Structure 1
């Protein structure tokens, strides 16, 4: 039997009994229980005996364990005393050896000082000899032979190293000033031959002079001499050109770029060859004579037409872009220990490269304005016939989209992402001139209409003023739609510093308003919108004029009062519509066919017709209310006229207005009923 089960924390007697019973086979319960109880009692007795024996052994062994612990305690105390004594001996030894170590350190320091003193004396002697030798060389003249120059370079390097050794000497500052003076004299002496070697592109001689400057720790002076020589050579080549053009200049500089970087890297041992090249070209472009900007300006003045001048500006942008692309290729070329150029120096170079374009971009606005305004020099715009002039302006408006699209493309080619600053003013100038032309013609149409109306001539849909005003209204709408499409909002991106035209050709304050140039419509668009509304009102006034003339007569007609009693008793069917209302009815009935002649589907002829009908009913109601002393027969006649107008309006697909319908009801209520026969 496994007794471990009884010692478990989760022991359950029921589970144990059931498990034991399941393994008993077919044994009877009484026998199984009796046997199990006997076995458990036997195990309990054995376990009790084992516990008694173990307890007896533990009690008998405790005194011996206490005795062993006491002896261990005594031995630990004795060991602690020995360790303390050993610690005291170690401290004594340390104190004795510490004095010896301090003595050794002092001796070593003394030795070092003696060695430094001896070295300083030797370096002082060497310094004096080198200084004297260099002084003699400067007095007799700097050698130009390769071997002598190599010796001079070694001597200069030795003097620099010697001065570093003498950094603790009392007269170090005097020696440093003396050496600086000698080096200044040496630099002044060898700079001219170095520049000559650089100008002649003599790599061997240049390398020797570079070693001398390197020995002096003045490699910056080498780069300065290189810039002077390279700038002088390139400026001379520019002056010798047969034809001074920007394309020739960019080819000259682009062809030299890779060669100069190789020289800077391999001969001058420059650690920043690209930065030196960028600085050279920046200074050179700003100092050339004749200046590239003057050359391009002079060529621009020789252009015989705005189109030719704009083509020159386009070629100018292309030449500069080709040059920039070449320099970008040199910068991006793979090389060891590739340097990182400062964005400020790149932008400065870019502004120098694009300087001719930056100076001439305002000219583009003038040229584009001239080119666009040439489209308004059409003889058709100067005719006497109102309608023909309106049609000519309508033709101009339909062509505006093509003209402005071409102008936008040209501006993009010339100014890149900075084009809105120069393109939109040209659009504004053109639109303003076109707006003035439209406004003047609108006033002419209005004046003609008013003169005809004052003279009592029939105007309306059959007059020339109406189609002229409609055509002009359509022209204004076309121009406004074209201007709405001119908004040039492009996705914001982070361009390369050398191709960031807004930064390179625009001033900071203008650059801040670049977005406004791109999104805001021209100021003349507001004028065109007002003119459009005025033309719309003018067209409707002309169209309604015959009706207004007839309606104006209503309050003064004599048929509304002073009718005799016999006439008053006439039945309604005996009354006919009066002349004024029949004139209005006939005019309204002829409008649909006439409007279709002048209006397109976009202009909604039915809308025009509905507006005229509504206007007629509204004004008619107002005029009836102005009639005084209307008698019974006059009321009948008025009601008969209203019925006639209502039938005409319904035939035209509309209906009389609520105000006129209410007036009709009021008049019927006030009319006495006919007496029965």
Structure 2
């Protein structure tokens, strides 16, 4: 029986009994019954467990007796241990007191030792200082001897020794004076080395220049060395600039700026390679040395004598192509910066943001004064071009044809000007360019005004000359249609031009707000003064807001006054067209007089069918019937521009009917208005005269019905009032305009009963 399982922490009595039972059954020969085996297992394990319990009880009882017997001895040993602990505590307390006393006694000694050690260090330093002081005079004497022999290397070595000696004498009095003396000696060495250094830099003598780099680096005068380098390079480039200008003056060379920039670029490329070799032995100077040729450009360009702007101004004074010259110089600036950026990228030179900014200003800053002058020059050229177009034309045909050509030329010139604005100013003067365009457009609009006056005068002359006036009117009609088409063409091109301007303004705002890339020279947009940049952005925002607020579908907010003037000219030209077509009608209407009372001479009230329309009315009717054959060739399939012009003149042209029908309806409407006005001028009408007048109106109404039109409501009311019997007048006048009711009643002498 395995009793070790009884001490396991996860002991299970049922599992233990079952496992032992299974083991017992496996060991049994299984011949006897299961019940007998189980009883045998139980009896055997109960007996074993009872025996085990007895053994445990015996062991426990024996252990208890031993513990009880050893308790007095344990108590005695515990008391002895307690007394030993108390004795140990007393000894430790006494030892702590002794340690504190020793520490107190030795503290002063340690402080004294530290003070003595410090004094020893100072004495040692003083000893070394005195030794160096003793050698200071010898070094100075040797240094003076080297100066007399122009031995730069010896002077440099002695100066290094003096610098070390100066550091060792820091504790001695007079250190500041000795330090000043060393700086003076460095100045003397620099003065002695400067001629040969300048010669080495001028001749690009690499070996000699490297020796000077070592000398200046050893005495910590590298900034002065770099200043010598830049001064020599700037002096050489300044001489090249003067020679180039002298050559330009003798040969009338206008490409001097491009040539000079090419020289600068080639020089910089050579110097970058040379400086890389020059400072190769000085790791701390390698990066700074490579950027020196670029810094030379940044310092040279603003200091050129004569300045770039002064020389360009002289050329502009003697040139007739000022804008073309400015475009060349602007392109030269832009190309130079692009080539410099390419060179920097190829040589892997990363310039500091400050140097990028300095170089950008050096290239572009002088040109901003020409950007400010550009609008005035552009206005002068455009005004001169437009003034050439203002020529008097003898005939309306020539005037209209000239108008078509002038509009085409104007927008060609404006596109050229817009291209120049981008080429010269990179659109930095675009807002001022837009401002001057209002005056240019007004000059061009004088062409339209002059042509309109000429058409009006031609119409008046044809009215005084009845013979052949009809054919002349049809020609004037063609001219007015051409005038309308020219106006629409002008407006359409103006819309496209405005759209182009808005795109350019948006691009300009983006460029002004953009930040320059790292290691890239500032573009011209980033070299604007901050007030000018803010003003440009404000102007662009104002134009964009006007575009959003524009109520008209035609205007985009840049030239609203021009659109208003165009609309006025369109209306006036359309009125001239109507006047041309109405002139024959006005001539016939002017012949209308109060009808004679020929039918009343016999004292008879004649029926209406006995009256015939007057000749002037029949002529008007015949004229109106012939109008479609004259209008349809012009307006049956009008050009998109003419259609657009007519729609701007009158909203009726937007209907889904032919423009000729719309124009005819407008003529008929105006004819009815003129006829109505002529009728209302009559003072008195007899019965027969009223009947004659009503017959005339009915004839006109019938003619208009053949054209698919009707007389106006007012003229129809007049017809009703003329035909009404006196006793039925007030009854039939119900619904008519009171003004017409009163006027016709007074003409017919009908007594009011109201």
Fold similarity call, TM over 0.5 = yes
Which residues of structure 2 form unaligned runs of 5+?
1-56, 62-66, 249-255, 547-555, 647-652, 654-658, 730-754
1:388 to 370, 385, 398: 398
- Aligned residue runs from structure 1 range 256-655, under 5 A: 256-267=267-278, 270=285, 271-273=287-289, 276-297=292-313, 306=321, 311-333=324-346, 335=348, 339-343=350-354, 345-354=355-364, 357-358=367-368, 360-361=370-371, 382-418=392-428, 420=430, 424=434, 427=437, 430-450=440-460, 462=473, 465-486=476-497, 487=501, 488-491=504-507, 492-493=510-511, 494=514, 496=516, 498=521, 500-504=523-527, 508-509=531-532, 512-513=535-536, 516=539, 526-527=561-562, 529-544=564-579, 547=582, 550=586, 557-559=593-595, 564=600, 569-599=605-635, 600-601=638-639, 602=643, 603=646, 605-606=659-660, 607-655=662-710
Instruction: Tell me the alpha carbon deviations over residues 513-564 of structure 1, each in whole angstroms, 9 at most, x when there is no partner.
Output: 3674787889877246415413422431452366476399579732298983
Q: How does 1:76-115 map to 2 (within 5 A)?
A: 88=97, 91-115=100-124
Distance in 2 (alpha carbons) for counterparts of 1:524 and 1:170 = 83
Cα distance, 1:252 vs. partner?
A: 1.0
Query: 3-state DSSP class of the match of 1:418?
Result: coil
Q: Give the deviation of 1:154 after TM superposition.
A: 2.9
Residue 221 of structure 1 deviates from its aligned partner by 1.3
The separation in 2 between residues aligned to 1:526 and 1:532, in whole angstroms, is: 10
Equivalent residues, number: 605
* Aligned equivalents of 2:604, 2:373: Cα separation in 1: 83
Contact 1:469–1:539 (CA under 8 A) maintained in structure 2:
yes
More displaced 10-residue stretch of structure 1: 661-670 or 554-563? 554-563
- Tell me how far 1:658 sits from its aligned partner: 4.0
TM-score normalized by structure 2?
0.67
Please give the alpha-carbon distance, in whole angstroms, between the structure 2 residues aligned to 1:412 and 1:379: 26
Is residue 487–residue 570 contact of structure 2 (8 Å, CA) maintained in 1?
no
SS of match in other structure, 1:188 = helix
Tell me the distance in 2 between the aligned counterparts of 1:365 and 1:411: 9
Aligned to 1:30: none
- Cα-Cα RMSD: 4.7
1:569 CA drift (Å): 3.0
* Separation in 1, partners of 2:116, 2:675: 130
Shift of 1:671: 6.0
- Pairwise CA distance, 1:246: 1.8
Which stretch shows the higher mean deviation, 549-558 or 244-253? 549-558
Shift of 1:385: 0.7
Q: CA deviation at 1:360?
A: 4.7
Are 1:428 and 1:524, in contact at CA under 8 Å, matched by a contact in 2?
Answer: yes
Q: Unpaired runs of 5+ in structure 1? A: 1-52
**Separation of aligned partners in 2, 1:135 and 1:213:** 19
Tell which deviates more after alignment, 72-81 or 547-556.
Answer: 72-81
Paired residues of 1:572 and 1:636 also in contact (CA < 8 A):
yes
Cα offset, 1:591, TM superposition: 3.1
Structure 1 position 249, deviation (Å): 0.8
Q: Residues 192-203 of structure 1 correspond to what in structure 2 (within 5 A)?
A: 192-203=195-206
On the 8 A contact 2:421/2:427 being kept in 1, the answer is: no
TM-score by length of 1: 0.73
CA pair 196-83 structure 1, distance change in 2 beyond 3 A: same
CA deviation vs aligned residue, 1:42-80 (integer Å, no higher than 9, x gap): xxxxxxxxxxx9xxx9xxx9xx9xx99x99997999588
Flag the 1:463–1:114 CA change in 2: closer, same or farther, 3 A: same
TM-superposition CA deviations, 1:1-32 (whole Å, max 9, x none): xxxxxxxxxxxxxxxxxxxxxxxxxxxxxxxx
Alpha-carbon separation, structure 2, partners of 1:456 and 1:168: 124
Contact residue 418 and residue 514 of structure 1 kept, 8 A: no
Cα distance between partner residues in 2 of 1:101 and 1:115: 21
Are the structure 2 counterparts of residues 403 and 546 from structure 1 closer, same or farther at C-alpha, using a change threshold of 3 Å?
A: closer
In 1, the alpha carbon distance for the partners of 2:626 and 2:79 equals: 142
- On the 8 A contact 1:149/1:208 being kept in 2, the answer is no
SS of alignment partner, residue 558 of structure 1: coil
Matched position secondary structure for 2:399: helix
Question: Quick one: structure 1 residues 544 and 446, their matched pair in 2 at CA, closer, same or farther if it must change by over 3 Å?
Answer: closer
Q: 1:579, 1:162 → 2: CA distance?
A: 133
